[in-house]
Each structure stands twice: as C-alpha cells, then as structure tokens.
Amino acid sequence: MVDTEIICTFVGIIGNFISLGLLACAVPTFSKIAMNNSVRGLKLVYHLAMTLSSLFWVLYGMPFIHRGFIPVLTSNGIILATQLAYLTISLVYANDNKQRMYVGGVFLIELVVFGLAIGLVIRQSPTSKTREEVAGVFCIVSYALILVPEALCVVELQKTGSVENVQTRNLVGNMLYRLCWTIYASFKYDVVLGAVNFSGFLFGVFHIKVYDVYYKRYAKSGVDKKLETAEVQVRGMSTGADKKLATAELLLQDQKLMGCRSKEWAQV
C-alpha cells in the first residue's frame, strides 16, 4: 500500500507546479499593462484580497503551526509573489496618484493586520492546536473576501454577456489548483484547508460553466454578424447586375459562412 505521505508529497508538487503555471499566465498581463502604460481593466480589489489571503496561507503553512505542510507554504509563497508583482505593476502604471494611494494604503493595512495575526498566533501555546485554529480562522475570513470580487465577475459576465475579458487559463488553473489542495487536505485530514479549497473548486466549476454558456452565445452571434455583413456586401456589389448572379453569389457566401459556423462550434 502506498504511504499517505508519499501521496501528499506528490500532490503537493503538482500544486506547486500549478502555482508556477498561474505565475506564467500573469506574464502576458504584465506585458500588456507595460505596453499600454495603464492598469485599466485590472481587478485591483481581487488582487489585494488575494494578497491578504496568500499571506495568511503562508502563515498557516509555517512549521510552528503545521509540521509537514511545506508544500502548502511554498505553493502559497509563489501565489503571494504573483500577487505582489500585480500590486507592484499597479503602483508603477497606475492611472493616477489617487489609485496609487488606494493600492498602497490598502496593502499597508493588510500588512498591519497580518502582523497582528502573527502576534496573536504566536501568543498561543505551541503544544496545543490553538495556533492552527486561530490561523485557520484568518484563512477562512480572507477567502471570504476573495469570493466577493469573484462573484462580481460572474455577475458582470451575466449582465454584459461578453467573454472577451475573461482569462480562461486563469479560470482553469485556479480550479485545478483548488482541486489539488482539496485532495491534499483529504489525506492530511485538515478541515480548514479542505473546506476552503473544495468550496473554491465548486465556485470555479460554476464560473467555467457560466463562461461556457456565454461563450457559445457570443460565438453564435459573432458568426451571425459575419453572415449579415456578407449579405450586405453581396447586395451592394450586385447593384445593377443580373439578379441570378447575385443570388448565386449570396448562396455561395452563405455556404462558406455556414461552414465557418460548424468549425467554430466544433472548436467550442
């Protein structure tokens, strides 16, 4: 029978690779911000909430709270580095000083809260599970803060119906990340780690499902617009020409666009 610790180590390594993948997914966003010299469209509230959550999860994985949680510590360290990169980029390329003060001010408040949390945890007896419980409460609360901007993204998607600004790689990556640590927590019998990541996995599945619904609608409407444009172009070109020739050209164009529609649906 395979040792549980070996399984946890293997799953933890996968979780760390996923964290590195999420960091790699952020690089194109950094490049786009640098090229446009603007952070317009960047979800600053989400990244600030993720930064605070990552800080608490790094604390949760510390050896003086959990022994054998090094994969949790390193994985969340990578996520924290990613979020700090987002905040640094937002400070450099902020639209105005007011936005810089907002990001910097909120981040300083987060550091103060994190410092207080460390002090509160360290004051607990190292021989009891109180340290784990106190740190776990901070992790749960910080995750609840993440859910707010994530839920707003879903609401915005439902209102606008536009999927152009949705980063599918991040959606899939986050879902797999949550699934990985849910499996890890099940072998470690860690309620806090399991509850937070399992709920995150379920929300990720829901978010992807909503995206899939609106992507199909968007793809269909996009092909319909191409078809309508083609009809107008053919009619304009056939002014004063033989009607039979114009009809034949229109039918040929319709067949080509219907073929494009079939290919787009197959790709979906």
What pLDDT, in 10s, does the model give residues 90-148?
Answer: 999 888 889 899 999 999 999 999 999 999 998 887 776 888 889 999 999 999 999 88
Looking at the fold, whether 63 and 170 belong to one and the same domain comes out as yes
- pLDDT confidence bin for 219, thresholds 50/70/90: low
Looking at the fold, whether 120 and 237 belong to one and the same domain comes out as no
Looking at the fold, whether 76 and 181 belong to one and the same domain comes out as yes
Q: What is the pLDDT of residue 260?
A: 47
Looking at the fold, whether 247 and 166 belong to one and the same domain comes out as no
Looking at the fold, whether 138 and 258 belong to one and the same domain comes out as no
What pLDDT, in 10s, does the model give residues 42-98?
Answer: 888 899 999 999 999 999 999 888 877 899 999 999 999 999 999 999 999 888 889
Amino acid 232 reads: V
Looking at the fold, whether 152 and 226 belong to one and the same domain comes out as no
- Per the structure, the count of domains in the chain is 2
Query: Which string of DSSP letters, residue by residue, matches 8-66?
Result: HHHHHHHHHHHHHHHHHHHHHHHHHHHHHT--TT--HHHHHHHHHHHHHHHHHTSTTT-
Q: What is the pLDDT of residue 235?
A: 54
Looking at the fold, whether 186 and 257 belong to one and the same domain comes out as no
Q: What is the pLDDT of residue 236?
A: 53
User: Looking at per-residue confidence, does 197 or 222 come out higher?
Assistant: 197
Q: Which domain holds residue 141?
A: 4-216
Looking at the fold, whether 174 and 234 belong to one and the same domain comes out as no
Q: What does the mean pLDDT of the chain come to? A: 80
Q: What is the pLDDT of residue 180?
A: 95
> Is the model's pTM score more than 0.85?
no
Looking at the fold, whether 141 and 203 belong to one and the same domain comes out as yes
Residue with tokens 């022994």: 67
Distance, CA of 1 to CA of 110 (rounded, Å): 45
Looking at the fold, whether 209 and 225 belong to one and the same domain comes out as no
Please list, residue by residue across 18-54, b when 16 or more beta carbons sit within 10 angstroms of its beta carbon and e when fewer do. Answer: bbebbbebbeebeeebeeeeebeebbbebbbbbbbbb
Looking at the fold, whether 92 and 171 belong to one and the same domain comes out as yes
Looking at the fold, whether 93 and 120 belong to one and the same domain comes out as yes
- pLDDT confidence bin for 223, thresholds 50/70/90: very low
